[in-house]
Structure 1
Amino acid sequence: MNFHTRKWVKPEDLNPNRTLFGGRLLEWIDEEAALYAIIQLENSNVVTKYISEIDFKSKAEEGDIIEIGIEPVKFGSSSLTLRCEVRNKMTREVIITIDQIVMVSLDAAGNAKPHGKAKIEYVKNRLSD
């Protein structure tokens, strides 16, 4: 699992219990999944189609630094299925896991668009010398 993004839990991210609001965390995860899919599918027009069961394992509190991990699970003809784990950067305690986030590549008209990808590619390998 690659952990590319870190977030600092601030007062505006908290729920009435003074812990990280789940909706805020899901917003961050959805954004991270979209960015990952955009880069992998080389298409800035992607949408979230499906998010599987969300399993909250522990809480995050104000001042915690969390990191969001994303890894690919499967390439479909127009989709990319991802797995996500969020953990506390300092303690490594898992905060949340999501087994499937399905992102779909779209054309200009908003229809599913085949992407032709079958494996993970790294931007550095796409650049010519």
Structure 2
Amino acid sequence: MRFHTRKWVKPEDLNPNGTLFGGKLLAWIDEEAALYSIVQLENNKVVTKYMSEINFMSKATEGDIVEIGIDVKKFGGTSLTLKCEVRNMRTRETIITVEDIIMVNLGEDGKPKPHGKTQIEYVKDRLKK
């Protein structure tokens, strides 16, 4: 898994227990999945269709740095299925896993549109074209 983004846990990210609020973490994951999909599908019109069961495994507290990792599981005709792991850089523990995140590529009309992609492309490879 490639870890693309780091987030610093600040006081405004905490729940009443003094740990990272799950809703904040899910927003970070959703944003990362969208950005990853936009880059892969080369289209700014991408939306989250589905996020599978989430599994909180450990916590993060103020001052911790969390890393968000995304991998592609499958390319569909109009979609991209991702998996995600978030880990705490200080403790090295996995905070959460999300097995399936389905992102859908949209056309100008706002409806699902085929993207024509079948494998991960890296920016360095696109620059060679």
Q: Which TM bucket (shorter chain)?
A: over 0.9
Q: Hey, what's the Cα distance between the residues in 2 that align with 1:90 and 1:118?
A: 36
Moved over 6 A (4+): none
Task: Percent identity, please.
Answer: 71
User: Structure 2: where are the runs of 5+ without partners?
Assistant: none
Q: TM-score under structure 1 normalisation?
A: 0.98
Q: Hey, what's the Cα distance between the residues in 2 that align with 1:90 and 1:74?
A: 31
Partner of 1:25: 25
Cα deviation digits, residues 89-120 of structure 1 (max 9, x gap): 12210000000000000001100010000000
Aligned residue for 1:80, secondary structure, equals strand
Aligned residue for 1:111, secondary structure, equals coil
Which aligned pairs between 1:26-65 and structure 2 lie closer than 5 A?
26-65=26-65
User: Structure 1: where are the runs of 5+ without partners?
Assistant: none
Q: Hey, what's the Cα distance between the residues in 2 that align with 1:67 and 1:105?
A: 25
Partner of 1:127: 127
Which stretch has the larger CA shift, 87-96 or 23-32? 87-96
Which aligned pairs between 1:34-113 and structure 2 lie closer than 5 A?
34-113=34-113
Q: Hey, what's the Cα distance between the residues in 1 that align with 2:92 and 2:73?
A: 22
Q: Hey, what's the Cα distance between the residues in 1 that align with 2:35 and 2:59?
A: 25
The alignment status of 1:9 with 2:9, answered yes or no, reads yes
Deviation, structure 1 residue 128 = 3.6
Partner of 1:115: 115
Q: CA RMSD in A?
A: 0.8
Aligned residue for 1:15, secondary structure, equals coil
Give the number of equivalent residue pairs: 129
Q: Hey, what's the Cα distance between the residues in 1 that align with 2:114 and 2:42?
A: 11
